[in-house]
């Protein structure tokens, strides 16, 4: 199966982002291809995703050939996963004259906003990652997936699906604290799982008003979701191009390196720089994150 790619797309750039931690539990990368199990419309499918000679995305099914409906859903998933439907020309124009972005965008040309289509997964990843270093965040995230997710083995390798909110909603705070989550974060994760499993919170519901700012304010109403998390989820899950987690220490670090500053810039200074990124703040963040790998 083939998926035509848009201009300004280089699979390897997004691949490098996806390959930044060997603790990543939801996919593995072998010989430039992503191996991952997905559940599309209730159908399990193992995919191997890479690029063909023409530079288009190519999906191979190592296990079972899916039916047409599943293929259709998979196509939509990949479009969203790599943000293929966005025309990035305005961003590249903007970045070419920006002192922070110019060099970085040149170095990582072709990178896309790699999205986390599943809202529950995006929220959990953000919450687990709050206030701890990225390596520890991956450790906790992996432990969470391996403990409560669904596994499928094929040819000696085990593939994992992210835990369903109904499963997590049935856990206790103690279950999550035992995994070295803080008590607070455990409460947040359980609360989130309950909101999603009882239907109060959904990705569709967040986007129903067609307004990203409404979605962001709805997210902010959830316990455990502050400015950083609301922006992170708006960016990675909802695809809001203007979402920008300004307080992020990683972004601060990236800007410090890009401008060769002596100290990390504060929120105020970052917002001043970001004023020139209107409409493309999320892409600025994506390239800044990428520069740290």
158 is an interface residue for DNA by CB under 7 A: no
What's the start-to-end Cα distance of the chain, in Å?
31
- Between 227 and 269, whose beta carbon lies closer to DNA? 227
- Please give the sequence-ordered ranges of beta strands (E in DSSP) within the chain, or none if there are none: 2-3, 28-30, 33-40, 43-51, 57-60, 150-154, 157-161
Paired tokens of 235: 């960016």
C-alpha–C-alpha distance, residues 176 and 268, integer Å = 36
* Sole binder of DNA in the list 224, 257, 269, 276 (CB under 7 A): 224
248 is an interface residue for DNA by CB under 7 A: yes
What are the Cα distances from residue 151, in Å, to 30, 71, 143, 166, 169?
Answer: 19, 22, 13, 16, 19
* Sole binder of DNA in the list 25, 50, 129, 239 (CB under 7 A): 129
227 is an interface residue for DNA by CB under 7 A: yes
Q: What is the DSSP string of 109-149?
A: TT--------HHHHHHHHHHHTTS-HHHHHHHHHHHHHHHS
Catalytic, 198? Answer no
Please give the size of the binding site for DNA, defined by CB under 7 A.
33
Count CB-CB contacts under 10 A for residue 141.
21
What is the biggest distance separating any 2 CA atoms in the chain, rounded to whole angstroms?
Answer: 56
Per CB under 7 A, contacts with DNA among 2-31 are 20
Binding window for DNA (CB under 7 A); candidates: 52-60, 127-135, 141-149, 164-172:
127-135
> Smallest gap, in angstroms, from Cβ of residue 164 to DNA?
23
Count CB-CB contacts under 10 A for residue 41.
12
> Smallest gap, in angstroms, from Cβ of residue 46 to DNA?
25
What is the pattern of x (binds DNA, CB under 7 A) and - over residues 179-218?
-x-xxx----------------------------------
Binding window for DNA (CB under 7 A); candidates: 45-53, 56-64, 197-205, 227-235:
227-235
* Sole binder of DNA in the list 19, 250, 257, 269 (CB under 7 A): 250
Phi, psi of 176 (to 5 degrees): -80, -35
> Smallest gap, in angstroms, from Cβ of residue 229 to DNA?
3
* Sole binder of DNA in the list 139, 169, 175, 276 (CB under 7 A): 139
Paired tokens of 289: 């994150």
* Sole binder of DNA in the list 19, 48, 197, 253 (CB under 7 A): 253
83 is an interface residue for DNA by CB under 7 A: no
C-alpha–C-alpha distance, residues 194 and 169, integer Å = 5
Paired tokens of 34: 């992503």
H-type alpha helices, 130-241: 134-148, 165-169, 173-177, 183-197, 203-207, 212-220, 227-233
* Sole binder of DNA in the list 2, 99, 136, 209 (CB under 7 A): 136
> Smallest gap, in angstroms, from Cβ of residue 286 to DNA?
9
Residue numbers at the binding site for DNA (CB under 7 A)? 20, 129-137, 139, 180, 182-184, 222-230, 232, 236, 247-250, 253, 264, 289
Catalytic residues: 248
């Amino acid at each position: 199966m083939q998926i035509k790619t848009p201009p300004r797309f280089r699979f390897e750039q997004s691949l490098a982002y996806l390959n930044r931690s060997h603790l990543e539990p939801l996919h593995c990368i072998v010989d430039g291809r992503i191996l991952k199990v997905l559940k599309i419309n209730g159908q399990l499918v193992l995919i191997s995703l890479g690029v063909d000679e023409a530079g288009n995305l190519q999906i191979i099914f190592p296990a079972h050939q899916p039916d047409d409906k599943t293929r259709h859903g998979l196509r939509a998933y990949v479009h969203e996963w790599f943000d293929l439907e966005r025309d990035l020309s305005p961003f590249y124009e903007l970045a070419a004259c920006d002192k922070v972005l110019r060099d970085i965008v040149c170095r990582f040309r072709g990178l896309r906003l790699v999205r986390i289509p599943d809202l529950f997964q995006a929220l959990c990843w953000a919450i687990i990652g709050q206030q701890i270093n990225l390596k520890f965040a991956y450790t906790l995230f992996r432990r969470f997936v391996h403990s409560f997710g669904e596994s499928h083995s094929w040819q000696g390798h085990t593939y994992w699906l992210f835990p369903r909110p109904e499963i997590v909603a049935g856990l206790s705070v103690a279950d999550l604290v035992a995994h070295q989550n803080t008590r607070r974060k455990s409460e947040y994760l359980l609360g989130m799982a309950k909101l999603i499993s009882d239907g109060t919170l959904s990705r569709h519901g967040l986007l129903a008003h067609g307004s990203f700012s409404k979605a962001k304010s709805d997210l902010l109403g959830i316990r455990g979701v502050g400015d950083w998390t609301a922006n992170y989820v708006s960016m990675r899950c909802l695809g809001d191009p203007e979402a920008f987690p300004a307080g992020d220490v990683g972004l601060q670090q990236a800007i410090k390196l890009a401008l060769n500053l002596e100290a990390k810039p504060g929120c105020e200074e970052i917002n001043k720089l970001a004023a020139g990124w209107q409409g493309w703040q999320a892409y600025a963040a994506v390239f800044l994150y990428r520069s740290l790998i």
